[in-house]
A and B are shown apart, each in its own frame.
Chain A
Amino acid sequence: MAVAFEKVRSTATAESGKNILTVNGLTMHFPLTQGIIFQRQVGAVRAVDGIDFFVQKGETLGLVGESGCGKSTTGRAILQLYKPTAGSVKFEGTELTTLGGEQMRRMRRKMQMIFQDPYASLNPRMTVGNIIGEPLEVHHLASGRAKTERVQELLKVVGLNPYFTNRYPHEFSGGQRQRIGVARALAVEPEFIVADEPISALDVSIQAQIINLLEELQEKFQLTYLFIAHDLSVVRHISDRVAVMYLGKIVEVADRQELYEKPLHPYTQALLSAVPIPDPAIESKRKRIILTGDVPSPVNPPSGCRFHTRCWKAQEICSEVDPEFIEHSPRHWAACHFPG
């Protein structure tokens, strides 16, 4: 483990000028308790269990994995929506985990989130104008007339009619609501946005509209994204670099082309081979790696390498020693005893 940390840290410092976010040993355990009055902890859901990565200014880091692998928890722990159990999260050199409430609130101006479910993430009793205007008031950025104008400008930026300010969320379709969510995130002019499955609740034909919008906004405002998704095709499309998570750990990180062409970790290989390609000619020739079994419980993860219970390459060492997260080629990290 220690070696792996050093590796990440060395690259992190080498390119520290470019790093907007550096995460070291981030751990998020949710306690499991028993008893009603005298609660005692009987275990923990180890949702995120010591992960290291960095995000560079202006890039999109895609974070993929199956449900329950801890990718959303990672996103929330970075924004301090959860208080991490251990580890450090540095945003532009500032350690976030030790910040107090008021300081953290000020930091949040620079980092925003776009949520998965556009139906649940907008307050149904607030007008669009109030939803988008709220962050402006919280951060004392604009009020009164200036606020209204700013809200209208934001609506225009995300491709909605600026005169929608008095409408309520239920009047909009899913895609339009997600645009409102994007406008709310943009209101405070953030530098960094965590997009947690922003398109998975939308229809296929609408997904591309939102992906394009996010790409346009990134160009226009030099945004940095942490893009969390389970769909590898979408992540490949939007990301510059991709991190693959399995059961609370990052198992592989690489530039997008490298990861999709030369995946090192068997889990990444299996994931890639499982994604159906909309072309029957290619589909009939592809060889699929079908993983057996299900993802084990994060309450009691397997010893050694967490993937060894489903891995076709697993040998004795895999169940005993947790593989280190090593840089196998420049900017390509993987945690596996038998990579390639």
Chain B
Amino acid sequence: MDPVMPEPSAELGVSAPLIEPGHSYASVTDKISAIVLTRRTPRWWMLGFAAAFCLMMLLFFAVAYLFAVGVGIWGINIPVGWGFAIVNFVWWIGIGHAGTLISAILLLLRQQWRTSINRFAEAMTLFAVSCAGLFPVLHMGRPWLAYWLFPYPNTMGMWPQFRSPLVWDVFAVSTYATVSLLFWFVGLIPDLATLRDRSRNRVGKIMYGILAMGWRGSAVHWSRYETASLLLAGLATPLVVSVHTVVSFDFAVAIIPGWHTTIFPPYFVAGAIYSGFAMVMTLAIPIRAIYKLEDFITLRHLDNMAKIILATGLIVGYGYMMETFGAFYSADQYEKFMILNRMTGPYAPFYWALIACNIVMPQLLWFPAVRRSVVGLFVISLVVNVGMWLERFVIVVTSLHRDFLPSSWGMYYPTRWDWATYVGSIGLFLTLLLLFLRYLPMISIFEMRQLVSQTSGKTESRVSGNLDDV
């Protein structure tokens, strides 16, 4: 079998290899570190970075104008006081969840298939959380006072009001960002040492050397590493559940029809994992094709992720059904109106589009042939990303635009500044991602080496390297 191009018809499931046969410790290290250590920056990377950087500049421009003129440049109004900013916040936070789930929960569950996708999924988490963290600050009337949400001794008499779900959000998101960053960095240390040792230029040696924090790979180092990584996994695991639960409280704790729903916490968590895995898939498919990483990110990985997308998608579908059922079962006239308005009101096309994207389309993943089709998976993952953004739009906007009094009804139309900020945040995300791909190992080298033994007996090593090489 050609290790570079796996057979599309290769058997999926637990018996399928997590790393294509024919790799040795050295070949794994060579292949992953070469992506970072190569002197020539690929042309596609330069073009992609230029495009992403331009979009990021668009974000900065939009934010500068926002700070100068205020949130009136957005389409928000009364009654729709929260618009794209909060939609984007929830969407980005949700995307981040897959990284933590893959790196923490799958680590604790000893799921080896996480190995080749955990590193860039964690990076995706960090970048998504960075984008998410921007929006609550941007949507404030006085964003320069955002630090007042942190409890610190001061002479102004300021102290957060802990009954507010917005304060819970601050703690949930900042804890999540901190633990994710620590987890990601600790996981990188052995690989940074590899890059330090392999780097041929002085700057690289110094930079990777500093970041590797004196890693020598001794037994003591590995023992401490394993302990730290397990502890951080244990810390991160409840965060997978808590962060989006708390984000859902922003809505569920309010008494607004369409928001005041007990199913929100589990439904938001499932939705977050759903959208997160869709984003991992959206990124993994082109990355594995461009960097020829089909050996490491195999069809089994894509198949497993597709199954998780299908399962969490079904939970999200159940959430939609229970939301509708609850509205009628509650016999609350406002709840009933709200759900009917979602289905038939001015934003109905968005509601039905999200049903099509999030419930109908992913059902194709029941078919093994679809789960084996890389193009099919890519399209479905894109559709789910769009669907989950629409879900947040529908939750935020349709619940607000109809008030209890018809005289207070309104509509929300995003302005060009809303779009510029949203598209710009995608630019920020892609800029950070491309920098990560270029300067850090996107796949965990040392963890992939552990998988070599799984397939080493099956075929001969295809490179001359042996254990002594590493």
A binds B: no
Interface residues of A (CB under 8 A from B): none
